[in-house]
């Protein structure tokens, strides 16, 4: 009797490489960077290896990323407490930190793709992604008006891809309309389509001091128990004009990545978030996991699930590992 022997296709490095179904390369990565308006780079306790960068630090890191083959970065600002307000007006200040960072990057590195985050949490005195009413509700349509201004200000500064992470209803269509009517028809929208109310964002909020001052984000971010609902969000973002859609976090939501992949022909991105980074980093630093192997395996898993693009704090490191360097 013929025995099926799948092991023959695993018997040598050559055959394993030749039949591998998924590949991961630096071109798939977007590298998230934290910036602040002071001097020096400040380590982030819960994200060893990541820092809040000064603008000089940002230029250095962007140059290094390009040298490693990572051609896209996404910016997150740590905004001075004195500039935070209930309406988050600093978000659309053309001389704000993010706007200056975009201009500086585009001047120095014409080939770098600059992605920006649209949401009010770094700018909000309440630490929420939207405007908060007197009775503590996050107001949808009023927030969308500010997000339009924020997106336009980022576009004027030279952003290539605008990425709304706020989860307000209707914001993708509103931002597309605002960009088009101001002539920014070439600026893309990467929508945070299925963004969950996740505890894995903890270290990110430490990095930016942006944790909500009260309550949580469950009235706008999705319930981690839901998968079907991601398809509804996908349908909406596609119909409102998104160029790419995103699932976030990545690791705990691989099934959602797969379902979104099958529901749209648009490119799908996935965000390996701060808490996923912190877990891999902490276990590696303790000697409990092999960092290189587990990180690459996590990235293969995200790509295998169906993501075209991965936002990951490991972007530079993984790019170096993949190229066979350290």
By CB atoms closer than 10 A (0-12, 13-18, 19+), residue 288 is exposed
Which alpha helices (DSSP H) does 53-93 contain, by range? 55-68
Indicate whether 41 belongs to the interface with ligand PBG (CB under 6 A). Answer: no
Backbone angles phi, psi at 191, to 5 degrees: -90, 135
For residue 189, give the 3-state DSSP assignment.
strand
- Cα 111 from Cα 107, distance rounded (Å): 10
CB contact at 8 A, 272 and 314: yes
Residue 121 binds to ligand PBG (criterion: CB under 6 A): yes
Q: Which stretch binds ligand PBG (CB under 6 A): 10-18, 95-103, 146-154, 201-209?
A: 201-209
Question: Does 213 participate in catalysis according to the annotation?
Answer: no
Total residues contacting ligand PBG by CB under 6 A comes to 12
CB of 275 to ligand PBG, least distance (A): 6
At 82, phi and psi to the nearest 5?
A: -70, -15
Annotation marks residue 195 as catalytic:
yes
Task: Choose, from 84, 195, 217, 281, the residue flagged as catalytic.
Answer: 195
Contact pattern from residue 133 through residue 172 relative to ligand PBG, giving x for each residue in contact according to CB under 6 A and a dash for the rest: --------------------------------xx------
Q: Please, what is the minimum distance in Å from the beta carbon of residue 208 to ligand PBG?
A: 8
Is residue 274 a contact point for ligand PBG (CB under 6 A)? yes
Query: Is 273 near ligand PBG (CB under 6 A)?
Result: yes
CB 152 within 8 A of CB 176: no
- Give the separation between CA 102 and CA 155, rounded to whole angstroms: 9
Of residues 205 and 320, the one with the C-beta less far from ligand PBG = 205
Q: Which of 31, 201, 220, 253 binds ligand PBG (CB under 6 A)?
A: 201
- Residue numbers annotated as active site: 195, 248
């Amino acid at each position: 009797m013929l025995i099926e022997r799948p092991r023959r296709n695993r018997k040598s490095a050559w055959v394993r490489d030749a039949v591998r179904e998924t590949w991961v390369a630096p071109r798939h990565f977007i590298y998230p960077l934290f910036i602040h308006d002071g001097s020096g780079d400040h380590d982030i306790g819960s994200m060893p290896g990541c820092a809040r960068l000064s603008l000089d630090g940002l230029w250095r890191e962007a140059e290094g990323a390009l040298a490693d083959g990572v051609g896209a970065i996404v910016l997150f600002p740590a905004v001075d407490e004195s500039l935070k307000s209930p309406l988050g007006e600093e978000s659309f200040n053309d001389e704000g930190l993010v706007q200056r960072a975009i201009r500086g990057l585009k001047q120095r590195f014409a080939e770098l793709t600059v992605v920006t985050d649209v949401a009010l949490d770094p700018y909000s005195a309440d630490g929420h992604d939207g405007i908060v009413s007197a009775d503590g509700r996050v107001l949808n349509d009023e927030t969308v008006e500010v997000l339009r201004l924020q997106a336009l200000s980022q576009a004027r500064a030279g952003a290539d891809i605008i990425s709304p992470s706020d989860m307000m209803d209707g914001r993708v269509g509103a931002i597309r309309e605002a960009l088009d009517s101001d002539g920014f028809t070439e600026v893309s929208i990467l929508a945070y389509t299925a963004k969950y109310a996740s505890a894995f964002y903890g270290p990110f909020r430490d990095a930016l001091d942006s944790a909500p001052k009260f309550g949580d984000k469950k009235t706008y971010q999705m319930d981690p128990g839901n998968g079907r609902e991601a398809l509804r969000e996908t349908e909406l973002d596609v119909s409102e004009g998104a160029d790419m859609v995103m699932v976030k976090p990545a690791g705990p939501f691989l099934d959602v990545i797969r379902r979104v992949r099958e529901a749209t022909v648009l490119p799908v991105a996935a965000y390996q978030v701060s808490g996923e980074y912190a877990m891999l980093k902490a276990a590696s630093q303790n000697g409990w996991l092999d960092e290189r192997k587990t990180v690459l395996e996590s990235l293969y898993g995200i790509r295998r699930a169906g993501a075209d693009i991965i936002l990951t704090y490991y972007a530079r490191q993984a790019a170096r590992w993949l190229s066979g360097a350290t």
